[in-house]
Amino acid sequence: MTYLMSLLLMGLVFGLVGVASNPSPYYAALGLVVVAGVSCGIMLSHGGPFLSLILFLIYLGGMLVVFAYSAALAAEPYPESWGDWSVGVNGCLYLGGVMIGCLLLWDGWSEYSWAPIDEFSDFSIFRGDMSGVAVMYSEGGWMLVISAWVLLLTLFVVLELTRGLARGALRVV
């Protein structure tokens, strides 16, 4: 379990560095897919299959449609890849920042945090993920409203950025 979680967390960090260090939308989309899949795996291994499925469906089904639309309108003939010098330097700088943060915060921050929620099922009549869904909708309802507002605002920002001068989405790419 520890090796699997370490592998998933390293995949999450490398995916985030891949998204942050690359200016091209094509490779950043691949990094976002890796990050979404790995974070779903992290939630799944902690005993939350329902929330993992919801994250995967909403994120990949909703936001990547908008991202694919903006990437299609960007249409770079020679996009910068992860093998380019400038992207590699940015990636090394970000990984160095992650390493410095790990060294500064190393004093036992992860000793007791890797226990899945279903290991404590003797003390509960519900599964861990179902009680998490109930808490998400009862106490975190305002956060869902804010998240929906941010997603709507992101949609309008992306559509405005890719609109062009006069014809909107019907312009020649």
Q: What is the CATH number of the domain that holds 141?
A: 1.20.120
Give the list of residues 6+ apart from residue 23 with CB closer than 8 angstroms, or none. Answer: 80, 87
Q: Which helix (H) or strand (E) holds 38?
A: helix 25-45
Report the alpha-carbon distance of residue 12 to residue 83 in Å, rounded. Answer: 20
Read off the DSSP letter of residue 59: I
- Full pLDDT tens readout for the chain, 173 residues: 778 888 898 999 988 888 888 777 777 777 788 888 898 888 888 777 777 888 888 777 766 676 766 666 666 777 777 778 888 898 899 999 999 988 887 776 666 566 566 666 666 666 666 666 677 677 777 887 888 898 888 878 877 776 655 555 555 55
Contact 133, 50 (CB under 8 A): yes
> What is the per-residue burial (b if ≥16 Cβ within 10 Å, else e) of 4-42?
ebeebbebbbbbbbbbebbebbebbbebbbbbbbbbbbb
Residue 147 CB coordination number (10 Å)? 12
Contact 1, 114 (CB under 8 A): yes
The whole domain housing 120 covers 2-170
- Number of domains composing the chain: 1
Q: What single letter denotes the amino acid at residue 111?
A: E
